[in-house]
Amino acid sequence: MNRRTLLGASAAGTLLIAMRSLAANIVVSPILSELARAYAGPGAALREGRVKFDITPLVENGNSVPVEVTVDSPMTTAQHVTGIAIFNEKNPQNDVAVFELTPLCGRARVATRIRLATSQQLIAVAKMNDGSCWTHTVEVIVTTASCVEE
Amino acid sequence: MRLALAIAALVIALTSAAEPRKSGIDYASAATQTLQKDDAQNPGMLWVKDGQARWTERTGAANKACADCHGEIAKMRGVAVRYPAMAAPSAATASATSTQRVINLAQQINQCRVERQQASAWPAENASLLGLEAALAFESRTLPIAPPVQPLLAAAQARGEALYRQRIGQMDLSCRDCHDGLAGKRLGGNIIPQGHPTGYPIYRLEWQAVGSLQRRLRGCMTAVRAEPYPYGSSELLDLEAYLMKRAAGMPLETPGVRP
Amino acid sequence: MASALITMPKAARAGDVIEVRALVQHAMETGYRRSSEGALLPRDLIRRFTCSFVEGTGQSVSTSDGSSKPGSRLVFAATLHAAVAANPYFAFHFRAERSGTLIFIWTGDNGFAHREQVNLLVT
Q: Is the pLDDT of residue B78 over 80?
A: yes
Contacts of A55 (CB under 8 A, 6+ apart): A65, A66, A67, A68, A122, A138, A140
Any C CB within 8 A of B49 CB: yes
Q: How does the average pLDDT of chain B come out, rounded?
A: 92
C76 Cα distance to chain centroid: 9
Residues of chain A contacting residue C106, judged by C-beta atoms under 8 Å apart: none
Q: Which domain holds residue C103?
A: 4-122
Which of C28, B187, B191, C83 has the alpha carbon at shortest distance from A118?
C83
| Ordered domains of chain B (ranges, CATH) | 26-42+145-258 (1.10.760.10), 44-139 (1.10.760.10)
Work out how many domains chain C is built from and give that number: 1
Q: Which of B235, B183, B193 is nearest to B214 (CA)?
A: B235
B177-234: per-residue pLDDT in tens?
999 999 999 987 789 999 999 999 999 999 999 999 999 999 999 999 999 999 999 9
C48 interface with B at CB cutoff 8 Å:
no
Other chains touching C, judged by 3 or more CB pairs under 8 Å: A, B
Do A145 and B259 count as a contact with CB atoms less than 8 A apart?
A: yes
B57 touching chain C per CB within 8 A: no
CATH code assigned at C102: 2.60.40.10
Q: How far is it, in rounded angstroms, from Cα A123 to Cα B138? A: 38
- In chain C, whose CA is at the least distance from the CA of B48? C3
Q: Return the pLDDT at A15.
A: 45
Q: What is the average per-residue pLDDT within A16-40?
A: 77
The bridge status of strand B257-258 relative to strand B202-204 is parallel
Q: Summarize the confidence of residues C102-107 as an average pLDDT.
A: 98
The ipTM, to two decimals, is 0.91
pLDDT level of residue C9 (50, 70, 90 thresholds)? very high
Would you give the end-to-end CA distance of chain A in angstroms?
39
Q: Are A143 and A31 in contact (CB under 8 A)?
A: no
Q: CB distance A114–C84 less than 8 Å?
A: yes
CA distance B39 to chain A (A): 15
Smallest CA-to-CA distance from B236 within B258, B215, B254 is with: B215
Closest CA to B160 of B248, B243, B247: B243
- Residue B91 binned pLDDT confidence (cut-offs 50, 70, 90): low
Contacts of A144 in chain B (CB under 8 A): 188-189
pTM, two decimals, is 0.89
* Beta-bridge partner residues of C91: A111, C21
CB proximity list for B234: less than 8 A, separation 6 or greater: none
Dihedral of alpha carbons C30, B124, B78, B49, sign: positive
Tell me the pLDDT tens digit for each residue of A72-104. Answer: 999 999 999 999 999 999 999 999 999 999 999
Using DSSP, state whether B102 is helix, strand or coil.
strand
Reference A82, options A133, A131, A129; nearest CA is A129
